[in-house]
Chain A
Amino acid sequence: MSKVKCDHCNLEFDKSVMIEDKIDGKKRYFCCKGCQGVYHLLREEGLDSFYEKLGDTKLNPAAKKEDDLEKFDLEGFINRYVKKRDDGFYEINLIIEGIHCAACVWLNEKVLHKTPGIIEATINYTNNKAKVVWDPEEIKLSKIIQTIRSIGYNAYPYDPKLQEERAIKQRRDYYARILVAVFATMNIMWIAIAQYVGFFSGMRRDIKDILNFAEFVLATPTLFYSGWVFFKGAYYGLKNRFINMDVLVATGATLAYIYSLYAMFSKSGEVYFDSVTMLITFILVGKYLEVLGKKQAVDTLDRVLGTIPTEVTVVKNSEKALVLVENVKVGDIIELKPGEKVVIDGVIINGSASFDESSLTGESEPVFKKRGDEVLSGSICLDSVVRYEAKKDFSTSILSNIISLLEDSITKKPKIERLANQVSGYFSITILSIALLTFIGWYFYIGSFEKALIIAISVVVIACPCALGLATPMATLIGIGVAAKRGILFKEASFLETMAKSTILVLDKTGTITKGEPSVITYEKFDDFDESLVLELVKNSSHPISKGVYEFLSKNIKYNQKEIKDFKEIKAKGIEAIIDGKKVVAGNKDFLIEKGIKVDIDNQNSLFLVAIENRVVAIFELNDEIKEGAAEAIEKIKELGIKVVMLTGDNEKVAKKVAKEVGVDEYFAKLLPQDKAKFIDDFHRSGDIVVMAGDGINDSIALSCSDIAIAMGSGADIAISVSDVVLLDESPKRVYEAFKISKKVFKKVKQNLALSLIYNTFAVPLAVMGFVNPLVAAISMSLSSLLVVGNSFGIKLKDKK
């Protein structure tokens, strides 16, 4: 059978499963009704040039979306997300789901522009956020959302007031400062070249004065506008009794500037305006990269918040009403429909259903809950209608706790940067004290205040800029490169330093030590049968165990398509269907016994039994396998002198078994997200520097509390966004390597600082003795930089061995 592309989404499927459609005498194929619908719609609207722009990009199939449009017109929803503008129009910020390429942005904007009543629609391609302005008298919000959905995308609102505006403003601010600095540097460079040449070949005094003045004009905005960030940083550092890199940069730049001013007006000596601008520019660019990282974290948090319902169905006197989540009182009866997210904690009083609690416990397996069981907010009701009594109000429920904790932690993060800057801090103090001593020494020796000041300034100027500025960044940059090659992504350079100093490693179980999804470990066949029957059955179920079996079978057998009828999934128990006329039942032991099938097996792992025509024919044994090399990696990490602790939301029994197998001595089980974070705080209190590795939404608070957070590449968006390090291939071995690399880099950083210190002890005496001229300054700066760069490349060389 040949594969064909769907004409809308470009995904390839077997020809036999595609919907055939004749349009303008040409045969078109679609993978689903949704794609077909969108294709027709775009043709009718005359927007089919979309497909030219799209090219070969693959889209999500245009699945039919749930029917929840009316919620967008509810008052509570509008109050929360819609901004009423002064000119009478309404404005909302949306996140559009399903945008893959520039053509998608084009299509969405085009369609929205064509819709009557919409005044403005702009979509940001990078973060998929859209701003829509409309006339409330002409069109309703639900209609706008419906329009977006009708072309195969989905939209949900977010509250931009939270953090986004601030983040964007900060980013723009930095960008403007960098632009000014880069402009000034580029121009000052060519003036400086003329001056350097003039130093050798001689230059007329009046021309030199003009060049000096031009440099002064360019350096002034750079120091006071672009360099403002450092003055601010230095001020806050000193206020907290802490000398940071900002202090040194600010003092160095300002002193060099003042000295140059003096040299310019007194028409004696050389000016250093070029050093001032270059110093500010290079260090500012480094800072800007940090700001960019923070912005991304904010984007994903918005995504999580946008999916939280604003209203719930409350049943009162057998009447249903939609009530704002904030207005739900303890004791209210709430009705949950399949697919709905729980926002308020409570206890089930009617009905039963499976709940997806993965965002709380990290376990992918749904939990079956019946009358009297507790439902926790943040879980998702999967398969039936349930009524439960609210035991808490919205603000004290787990979900809103998690959100506020996350918001806090993202804004709290900077404390780590302070820690990372410690080494450079010591260095700054040393240089500043040497300069001070030089000043005092010269003042008493020759008694001239002016001469002493100029020499002291030249000490700072010659010692400060390049080598020291490069010592840490250069080593960490190479370290980051080496790590990235192995699939370890450090989001910020300073994290390497923090990680090298860490004393404790906290691991999450599911998804970090174990694979996180059950996979088949043994497969026993009692009878000969067509395995395609089983494959067809499990293909239809989304339960993790079915998925595990599907994965196993699709690798090992040849699949023939079968006809399936009467498919039924019984929550937390099993599945059954009539396939090719045969009754196939599969599930756990109790389920098969319930169906009147004789079973006599006993085993503690998850079992998946298959019966065809009431006879057990096969057994699959599944287990959440421990990742390859986990035990070995943990052993090696312990050798580095780091304590390893495991925290998990799973039960005690499983936790104990896993901990024993991988050699973790300390573990804590049955933890909710906040509990994990509490543990991290406890470790902090006892003076430890904590590295945490995890992957789920349930880990994100703990991750954001820890000093270094390591997230697995396939983990939840939110976990990745609060983390500092991302492991692409998720192997525990990488955690060990991350430790090793960071320790090596930290060693290099120290070496570099020592090197530039030694170098400066040669250069500084020259300055102290008053021998400094532009030539010595230029050579000493570039030579010390070269030394530092060369030494840093040692990280790469050693790595190859």
Chain B
Amino acid sequence: MSAGIIAMMLGVSTLLGALGLAALLWGLKTGQFDDTSKFLDAARFDGEEELKDAVLMEEKKKKALEKKKKVMPN
């Protein structure tokens, strides 16, 4: 086997692994793993309804913000 192929294989696999690691670190930094048990339960409870709920909350936030802007036009 030529040295070039080994170097490439090592490089690619390490890079792929590093990408996964980076994603994990990002998740950690944004607080997605702060609550271990809830993070696991999410797999059990998450469904269509939870998704709707999340969308609803976002809309609610948007509306509240818009309302604020109207009250204070400056």
Contact = CB atoms under 8 A, between A and B. Distances in A.
Do chains A and B stick together as partners? yes
Contact of A126 (B29, B35, B64): B35
Interface in A301-334: none
A125 B38 contact: yes
B14 A214 contact: yes
A179 B37 contact: no
Nearest to B38: A125
Contacts of A89: 64
Nearest to B7: A210
A332 to B, nearest CB: 41
Contact of A119 (B28, B44, B57): B57
A138 B34 CA distance: 30
A42 to B, nearest CB: 15
A210 B45 contact: no
A124 interface: yes
A88 interface: yes
Interface in B1-18: 3, 6-7, 10-11, 14, 17-18
A119 B64 contact: yes
A179 B31 CA distance: 15
Contacts of B6: 207, 210
Interface stretch (A11-19, A105-113, A488-496, A772-780): A105-113
Contact of B38 (A105, A168, A172): A105
Contacts of A123: 38
* Number of chain A interface residues as a range: 35 or more
Contacts of A217: 14
A600 to B, nearest CB: 62
Contact of B44 (A87, A102, A126, A183): A102
Nearest to A117: B64
A82 B24 CA distance: 32
Given A102-B38, A102-B44, A125-B37, A113 B53 contact: yes
A593 interface: no
Contacts of A117: 64
Contacts of B34: 124, 168, 172
Nearest to A214: B10
Contacts of A126: 35-38
B37 A176 contact: no
B28 A102 contact: no
A187 interface: yes
Contact of B28 (A175, A183, A191, A211): A175
Contacts of B65: 87-88
Contacts of B35: 124-126
A135 B14 contact: no
B66 to A, nearest CB: 12
Central interface residue in A119, A137, A218, by most chain B CB within 10 Å: A119
14 contacts: A88-B68, A89-B64, A105-B41, A113-B53, A124-B38, A125-B38, A125-B41, A126-B35, A138-B64, A176-B28, A207-B3, A210-B10, A211-B10, A218-B14
Given A172-B31, A204-B3, A214-B11, 20 more contacts: A53-B45, A87-B68, A102-B45, A106-B45, A113-B53, A116-B60, A119-B60, A120-B61, A124-B35, A125-B35, A125-B41, A135-B64, A168-B34, A172-B28, A175-B28, A176-B29, A179-B24, A180-B21, A187-B14, A187-B17
Those 5 A-B pairs whose CB atoms lie nearest each other, nearest first: A102-B41, A124-B35, A206-B3, A125-B38, A125-B37
